[in-house]
Amino acid sequence: MKMLINVAETVVADALRGMAAAHPELTVDVDNRVIVRRDAPVAGRVGLVSGGGSGHEPLHGGFVGPGMLSAACPGEVFTSPVPDQMLRAAAAVNSGAGVLFIVKNYTGDVLNFDMAAELAEDEGIRIAKVLVNDDVAVTDSLYTAGRRGTGATLFVEKIAGAAAEEGAPLEQVQALARQVNESSRSFGVALSACTTPAKGSPTFDLPPGELELGVGIHGEPGRERRAMMTSSEIADFSVHAILEDLNPRSPVLLLVNGMGATPLLELYGFNAEVQRLLGERGVPVARTLVGNYVTSLDMAGASVTLCQVDEELLRLWDAPVKTPGLRWGV
């Protein structure tokens, strides 16, 4: 496999050095693997910390900045960061108003963030947590007990980040984050397997002419494999799976997310099919985001995430944000 890297052992450090050079508005600690907005801690504001294995960029480091995360902790590829990283991040962004940990539901992330929360509280930092578990494809997987955390992570980080930016207290920011997670559902489809730098070959076997319905962002198995389907058929399967579990009674945010190797030409076409189906089912779409946001290295495919919103959640979604991966209103 051809990859634009030096050696597998330094791929995360090399990426962080490049990120630091491209984004002077961030403080990137390459050695300790922590990315912090340069103006942190912001006086009187709740700090938001998230993180996870590398390979899902721009999640999470690309979402650090005003209106979103205060800090992010990148682990090795598809590997949870360690509690020391999370503790450093919490200390760097704590202004005395508390810190919210946003945790995707993967066993390593959950255990390490729990341990980091205990260590932070021992140092006098008030911690709250929210678990993201929006994937309807499967109940348990290779990496999780319960549903996986996927595309809704972006919605949680953006809306909670906007509330924190406005000075909302920790309990309110946590409640909003939980509301967003509970109002969100996702479903992903893989057209090809991804390749980790360490392995140098596809992480799972997906024969030519087949796709995986309900795949996880680390290549975890989904609901079933089928012969290749059209964009319309994939959209129908994905939307049906989500609406089986979510019955929106108000408008939704829609994320049509690329897994890393699918071009925008295809993603926009896929979005057209998803929008058509939602229209036929009477689900109004308030806002749409199309692109690569929660990726899986070089996997071809896409995921769909819906989040039911009220006026307040929509207002917070529209609030200004200035990060490497998401930016508007500034």
pLDDT in tens, 166-195: 999 999 999 999 999 999 999 999 999 999
The predicted pLDDT at position 36 comes to 98
Mean pLDDT score, 247-264: 97
- Tell me if residue 218 is catalytic: yes
For residue 326, CA distances in Å to 157, 177, 251 come to 11, 18, 22
Residue 321: strand pairing partners? 328
Does the pLDDT of residue 142 top 80, yes or no?
no
Task: Compute the distance between CA of residue 149 and CA of residue 106 in angstroms, rounded to an integer.
Answer: 7
pLDDT tens for each residue of 72-130: 999 999 999 999 999 999 999 999 999 999 999 999 999 999 999 999 999 999 999 99
Instruction: Write down the catalytic residue from 23, 56, 60, 240.
Output: 56
Q: Confidence class of residue 140 from pLDDT cuts 50, 70 and 90?
A: confident
pLDDT tens for each residue of 200-211: 999 888 999 999
Does the pLDDT of residue 259 top 80, yes or no?
yes
Does the pLDDT of residue 309 top 80, yes or no?
yes
Name 291's Cβ contacts closer than 8 Å, sequence gap at least 6: 256, 257, 258, 264, 267
The predicted pLDDT at position 141 comes to 74
The predicted pLDDT at position 186 comes to 98
pTM (predicted TM-score): 0.97
Instruction: Write down the catalytic residue from 23, 60, 218, 240.
Output: 218
State the CB neighbour count (10 A cutoff) for residue 178.
17
Range with the poorest average pLDDT among 34-38, 138-142, 256-260, 305-309: 138-142
pLDDT tens for each residue of 47-68: 999 999 999 999 999 999 999 9
The predicted pLDDT at position 117 comes to 98
Does the pLDDT of residue 23 top 80, yes or no?
yes
pLDDT over 70 for what percent of the chain? 100
Kind of pairing, strands 99-104 and 327-328?
Answer: unpaired
The predicted pLDDT at position 264 comes to 98
Does the pLDDT of residue 143 top 80, yes or no?
no
Name 4's Cβ contacts closer than 8 Å, sequence gap at least 6: none
Token pair of 306 as six digits: 């819906």
The predicted pLDDT at position 239 comes to 98
Mean pLDDT score, 302-309: 98
The predicted pLDDT at position 314 comes to 98
Q: Confidence class of residue 144 from pLDDT cuts 50, 70 and 90?
A: confident
- Tell me if residue 60 is catalytic: no
Apex 249 CA angle, 253 and 293, nearest 5? 15
Does the pLDDT of residue 15 top 90, yes or no?
yes
Q: Confidence class of residue 330 from pLDDT cuts 50, 70 and 90?
A: confident
User: What does the buried/exposed string (b/e) look like for 21-38 if buried means 16 or more CB atoms within 10 Å of the residue's CB?
Assistant: eebeebbbbeeebbbbbe
Task: Compute the distance between CA of residue 295 and CA of residue 106 in angstroms, rounded to an integer.
Answer: 16
| 3-class SS letters over the chain | CCCCCCCHHHHHHHHHHHHHHHCCCEEEECCCCEEEECCCCCCCCCEEEEEEEECCCCCCHHHECCCCECEEEEEEECCCCCHHHHHHHHHHHCCCCCEEEEEECCHHHHHHHHHHHHHHHHCCCCEEEEEECCECCCCCCCCCCCCCCCCHHHHHHHHHHHHHHCCCCHHHHHHHHHHHHHCEEEEEEECCCCECCCCCCECCCCCCCEEEECCCCCCCCCCEEEECCCHHHHHHHHHHHHHCCCCCCCCEEEEEEECECCCHHHHHHHHHHHHHHHHHCCCCEEEEEEECCCCCCCECEEEEEEEECCHHHHHHHHCCEECCCCEECC
Apex 187 CA angle, 234 and 295, nearest 5? 100
